[in-house]
Amino acid sequence: MSTLDSIYSDQLEGIYDSPTHAEGAKGELPLTEEILRTRPSGDMFGMTLNAGMGWEPSELANDGVMMISTLAGIRSTDGSPKALALHTGGYELGVQLEAAAEVLRENHKLPYATFVSDPCDGRTQGTIGMFDSLPYRNDAAVVFRRLIRSLPTRKGILGVASCDKGLPATMMALASQHDYPVCLCPGGSTLMPVNHGKCDPGEDAGTIQTIGARFAYNEISLEYARRQGCRACASAGGGCQFLGTAGTSQVVSEGLGLAITHSALAPSGTKIWEDVARASARALLTQMDKGITAKDIITEASVRNAMIIHAAFGGSTNLLLHIPAIAFEAGVKRPTVDDWAEVNKAVPRLVSVMPIGPVHYPTSMAFMAGGVPEVMLILRKYFPGLLDESVMTATGQTLGENLDWWENSERRQLVRQHLKETTGVDADEIIKTPEAAKAAGMTSTVTFPKGNIAPEGSVVKSTAIDPRAISEDGFYRHTAPCKVYPSEKAAMKAIKEHEVVPGDIMIVLGVGPKGTGMEETYQLTSALKKVPEGYKIALITDARFSGVSTGACFGHVGPEALAGGPIGKLRDGDVVEIIVDTNALEGSLNFIGTDPENPISYEEGAAILAERETDPRVKEDDDLPDDTRLWAALQDVSGGTWQGCVYDTDKIVEAINAGKKALAEN
């Protein structure tokens, strides 16, 4: 029997009676003489296509609104899956899109929906799939922009997204639409499983990523791993329950003014989450009526506001890559490492959530405690003038007007009341005043050490360094001969074989953009937690970290090793000095020679490193896709990590032309 016979074995009765013609849509297109004589043929052909899809023909001259989203999977009307998405974050977004589309149609607009689904950083941890994670962001933003421009009749753009790379990509695309009304609808947060006690606590999606390591160290049983792994995602939608990159991107979108007041982190699948989509659509309509556009919303002042909110929430360090990229697309000044340091020194951390606590409340509870506007109210009261309240926002009002509304709104009272009634937790236990935060031991989140190892800068989530490693004066100090590993694979092997011991400083190279697409190394940071007294081990790398990572881990070291950065010149046994003042939020990473008893000056260390060759073991990963190699080259020319890993077309074209000229001359 032919293979084709088996392929077509389930033949249905009547399938060969298929028609080749049909009546087509009833009615008439709303064409006028002016349209026929003056408009491009694409406008009229678009109407024909829309009628063919079943839209009421008489409405086809209405203003078009483009909805872009990271929707993925195939979801039945009852919520059951026909095909899975790569993560929950994209799976339920269709519900929000439908809600937004209904509002647009009710207001005589013509909604269109296009999708660029996104990968899952959790799913690709420790795999070569991670090599595509950050590059995806740029490429998705490009595709989104191409799709937006493919609707020439658009009058506004609504984005609906929720997770680590898809949400920054969506914001980059919206920010680039300078002359159009734009609004971002955040896709909310996954619900936590119910806590049934010590034997069945209900773990979040961050801790569940460590079940393999915990089982290997005999901390949990096979049965426990099976059960908790099954129930960790207690709803089918939303970003992870901790304030990782997904949650941080959502609060930053609201801080930018790109998302409406009290929209970030809504509990997925709930009525209030669905209503956020309706409200976002109404906000876009308001902008269209008032003539407000993206360039009115995303300004240098609103970018700074977003950085302030990032600091107040204690957000993921990955936003150091995404906020500059959004600013670049908006055509405004990109923040520098010094700008980040200044903001983080000025802004206390006020929100107690996973993964750094001190109490590990899920992000859905932070939403019910009042979310971003509640944090903004506290900042306004205790630090007058810190936030620029004059900035325009997606609501069609200024930030100050939004906060005036929130302070006395029924919405604020009801969500905080509901939180107390259903969980027993007072909203003020989650979102704190500066005094209460200080009393709870909460410190500002991020420090940006420089030095002869990291002349362009690095980042450490200093509030997440184990308190046992911090002295009474608030300093983390660690000086030791380093152990150098040319890849994450080599570093993981060393940890598993007990080569890495307390007191070590690990240097992991070649995992920046050029080596691996700047992979996340949560595999490393979580593994170090399982090493006895692992808090005494430090990690320095040109990679980035998951938003759930904690510990004495220094990432984003620039320049990266494969770009000739001095981190790539370090050798086994070189003495490295780490100093972090967790109170003043200042720090340094320096090579101080090869003899711990006779340290050399930072300047002498810099000179020695400058003379050395890059570690010959450092190279592109053998599995690095050509797509990511191209991305790495383009972002390197465009300014690299601390400029947001963007595509700066002018710089890229200049470099290509210079290269072509040099090749011709040779």
Active site residues: 546
CA distances from 400 to 6, 57, 241, 409 (A): 67, 43, 29, 14
Contact 537, 500 (CB under 8 A): yes
C-alpha distances in Å from residue 235, one per residue of 194, 199, 216, 360: 11, 21, 28, 19
The 3-state DSSP composition of the chain as helix, strand, coil percent (nearest 5) reads 45, 15, 40
Residue 251 to residue 310: CA distance in whole angstroms: 7
Determine phi and psi for 609, rounding to 5 degrees.
-65, -40
Main-chain dihedrals φ then ψ at residue 46, nearest 5 degrees = -60, -40
Task: Name the packing angle between helices 649-665 and 626-637 (round to 10°).
Answer: 100
Tokens of residue 251, six digits? 């609060």
DSSP 601: P
Q: Give the CA distances from residue 253 to residues 114, 245, 264, 312, in Å, rounded to whole numbers and listed in that order.
A: 20, 12, 8, 14
Give residue for tokens 């240097």: 507
CA dist., res. 62 & res. 83, Å (int): 34
Cα–Cα–Cα angle for 285, 290, 291, rounded to 5 degrees: 95
Helices 319-330/133-149 angle, 10° precision: 20
